[in-house]
């Protein structure tokens, strides 16, 4: 099995110049470390929508995949939806994957169950792979509500399969779950590896319960993953990789995290 290390650049970097500088660093290092990373760890970056086309051009013919951070819920292709980018448009810009359901989208854009069901449907219709994010808030964690919260969030996948059973066979190839406790994002606070491991086990069992073909779901951990803690997450067999925010904005730290997962796979 391969690990996945995905950089979510969020609303960064500020300029095209800075995007290119980050890609220069990343691609130079990936070339050098190709053998270590390539075989055992897939790399993906998710630039902001405005940089997607330029980044995907530079990543063409490299081993690094390109993802959108979000797509429109309203239409898979075109329509009167000011400010939105559709699944078809991000595919045309070169994305092969999209992140969906990130907690920052849920929080700042009130993304609901129905909205995410629409987005998942549109993404898969356009052949985009989906990195589907779930995770509890600090209050829910303190209340020991982590598992019920993620069960509710995962039920979008169950509803998707009920509506479109024909997706079942191919979904394990096109869906990755990222468990990101909201309280760990950008805070430097992390759950213990044992807590993450138990939650991932629950996620894998839950998703496998939706369809037999989903019994090998890839589940990534996200939330303050950095060079210092990557090895400990990578060492746990339930943690198939990382969704990285802040540390993905420097090629050196992003690739060090990827190497940690590569080593653990070896």
Interacting residues toward ligand 13P by CB under 6 A: 8, 102, 180, 185-186, 222-225, 243-247
- Listed in sequence order, the residues at least 6 apart from 211 whose beta carbon sits closer than 8 Å to its beta carbon are 161, 168, 171
Please, are residues 93 and 67 in contact by the beta-carbon 8 Å criterion?
A: no
- Pairing between β-strand 3-8 and β-strand 97-100 as defined by DSSP bridges: unpaired
Q: Is 180 among the residues known to form the active site? A: yes
Q: Provide the minimum distance between the beta carbon of 257 and ligand 13P in the complex, in angstroms, as a whole number.
A: 10
Catalytic residue among 104, 136, 180, 259: 180
Q: Provide the minimum distance between the beta carbon of 63 and ligand 13P in the complex, in angstroms, as a whole number.
A: 21
Catalytic residue among 102, 122, 200, 202: 102
> Which one, 136 or 180, has the nearer CB to ligand 13P?
180
> Which one, 76 or 200, has the nearer CB to ligand 13P?
200
> Which one, 88 or 135, has the nearer CB to ligand 13P?
135
DSSP 166-210: GGHHHHHHHEEEEE--GGGTTTS----HHHHHHHHHHHHHHHHHH
> Which one, 238 or 244, has the nearer CB to ligand 13P?
244
b/e map 163-178, b = 16+ CB within 10 Å: eeeebeeebbeebbbb
Q: Provide the minimum distance between the beta carbon of 165 and ligand 13P in the complex, in angstroms, as a whole number.
A: 30
Question: Rounded distance, CA 225 to CA 218, Å?
Answer: 17
Q: Provide the minimum distance between the beta carbon of 107 and ligand 13P in the complex, in angstroms, as a whole number.
A: 11
Q: Is 102 among the residues known to form the active site? A: yes
Question: Which residues does the annotation mark as catalytic?
Answer: 102, 180
């Amino acid at each position: 099995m391969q690990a996945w290390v995905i950089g979510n650049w969020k609303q960064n970097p500020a300029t095209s110049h800075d995007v290119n500088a980050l890609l220069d660093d990343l691609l130079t290092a990936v070339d050098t470390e190709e053998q270590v990373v390539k075989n055992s760890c897939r790399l993906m970056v998710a630039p902001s929508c405005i940089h997607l086309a330029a980044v995907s051009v530079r990543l063409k013919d490299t081993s690094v995949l390109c993802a959108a951070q979000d797509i429109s819920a309203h239409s898979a292709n075109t329509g009167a939806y000011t400010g939105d980018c559709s699944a078809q448009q991000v595919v045309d810009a070169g994305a092969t994957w999209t992140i969906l359901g990130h907690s920052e989208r849920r929080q700042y854009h009130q993304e609901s169950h129905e909205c995410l069901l629409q987005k998942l449907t549109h993404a898969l219709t356009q052949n985009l792979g989906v990195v589907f994010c779930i995770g509890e808030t600090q209050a829910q964690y303190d209340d020991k509500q982590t598992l019920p919260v993620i069960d509710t969030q995962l039920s979008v996948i169950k509803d998707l399969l009920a509506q479109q059973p024909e997706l079942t066979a191919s979904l394990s190839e096109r869906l990755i779950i990222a468990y990101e406790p909201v309280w760990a994002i950008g805070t430097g606070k992390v759950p213990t590896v044992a807590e993450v491991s138990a939650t991932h086990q629950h996620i894998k069992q839950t998703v496998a319960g939706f369809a037999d073909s989903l019994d090998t779901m890839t589940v990534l951990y996200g939330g303050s993953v950095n060079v210092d803690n990557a090895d400990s997450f990578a060492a746990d067999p339930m943690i198939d990789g990382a969704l990285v925010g802040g540390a993905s904005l420097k090629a050196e730290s992003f690739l060090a995290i990827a190497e940690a997962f590569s080593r653990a796979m070896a």
